[in-house]
Amino acid sequence: MVIVGFPPAFSGAAEALIKLASGLQHLGLNVKVLCARPSDQASEGSVGSLPVTYLSSGSWRDLFADAPRNVVACFGFRSACYIWRHRQSIDVVHFHGAGRVTVLPLLVARVLGLPTLAKLTNIDHDSLSAHRRRRGGKLLVRVLRFLDMCIAISPLLAEDLSLWGWPKTKALQIPNPVDTDKFCPAEVAERASRRQGFGFADDEFIFLFIGILQMRKGLDTLAAAWIQVTQRLGPKAKLVLVGPHCTHETELMQRLSILPNAVLTGRASQGEVRDYLRAADAFVFPTRSEGLGNAVLEAMACELPCIATRIEGITDYMLGGGRGILVDPESSESLANAMVWICENKARSREYGQKARVWAVATVDTCVVARQYASLYMSLLARK
């Protein structure tokens, strides 16, 4: 599997890869990750039981600055060389993301006759529409057509492939996985213990957000909505924001830091994220742009009632059918109304959470998704 950013960097795509790899390993498949290496990282390592090779690509802080050309060229070249040198031990090349960095390793894999697939991660980053808006994008899309399969993690990304005439025989929709055994509702005693550990009072209603604290996630809208919520609900409502701070968005961070009855926890481990989800009362996700929304999937698996902005082909796919509440993007008033309603209608809110859990187990459970990928790998190998 090839991906640019990987732990110790924070990335939703990386978290999804780790979960998928775990499911594939459970099925008996061998998985190896190639990713970009920061200057202070050893070239070989592991994340849990997942072996990782870190390939030199420039400085660590360059990795997420819209994929600078030097990082793309360096990592793309080194990953292509790795695939060539280890061609005897590679059966399938799976790219997590499809962009300029994919070009060289894709062409080398093509020459070697190795099956290739790429997972599209975000409509604004690596969709065909996004590529075609950029300089050289049309040429990149032509190269990407050498892929044997393109994976869309949401209906919106699948529609985008169809819009640009991507062959139906080379496209599949497979969502990101969630370990629904670990991400599940807590028993009453455990939940009380988690809340006590976090310092949540019994009578507090905890609204939870998980993700990078940045404008793209709609946190400016959430901040405006939260002022309205606290005015209507008073001190019984608490907002907990879990995730790394976006250092270059200082104005947003200052605004979030002075919100009443709100807590910014900073980056959290997967175990801590799970504990927060199992201690909270509701999940709020006012994002403007998303691949699918791993945090929402995990909240659904934990049976939390979820509120999210309506993004056609993404949040409506997850929370439609009475599985959650969708609000208008950019509307702090709609978001505040939904948050107050969730708090004041706990019985109906529990119904949302229960339906969300049923859908998550049936659709995005790690075992379900891993079996889909394993079947795909086998079918691609059978074609060669």
Q: What is the mean pLDDT of each run of 10 residues along the chain (384 residues)?
A: 81 87 96 85 87 76 48 83 96 94 95 96 88 90 96 93 94 95 95 95 96 93 97 96 88 94 92 95 92 89 95 82 92 97 95 96 96 97 87
Domain co-membership, 194 together with 229: yes
The answer to whether 150 and 120 have CB atoms below 8 angstroms apart is yes
Residue 169 is predicted with a pLDDT of 95
Domain co-membership, 331 together with 204: yes
Domain co-membership, 163 together with 223: no
Token pair of 332, please?
């702090």
CATH code assigned at 139: 3.40.50.2000
Domain co-membership, 203 together with 159: no
Range of the domain at 345: 188-363
CA dist., res. 285 & res. 212, Å (int): 11
Residue 289 is predicted with a pLDDT of 82
Domain co-membership, 197 together with 248: yes
Residue 71 is predicted with a pLDDT of 65
Strands 149-152 and 116-120 turn out to be parallel
Domain co-membership, 342 together with 306: yes
Domain co-membership, 326 together with 192: yes
In this structure, is residue 205 part of a structural domain? Answer: yes
Residue 60 is predicted with a pLDDT of 43
In this structure, is residue 4 part of a structural domain? Answer: no
Domain co-membership, 142 together with 238: no
In this structure, is residue 302 part of a structural domain? Answer: yes
Residue 107 is predicted with a pLDDT of 97
CA dist., res. 214 & res. 207, Å (int): 18
Domain co-membership, 126 together with 195: no
Q: What pTM value is reported for the model?
A: 0.88
Domain co-membership, 146 together with 222: no
Domain co-membership, 170 together with 206: no
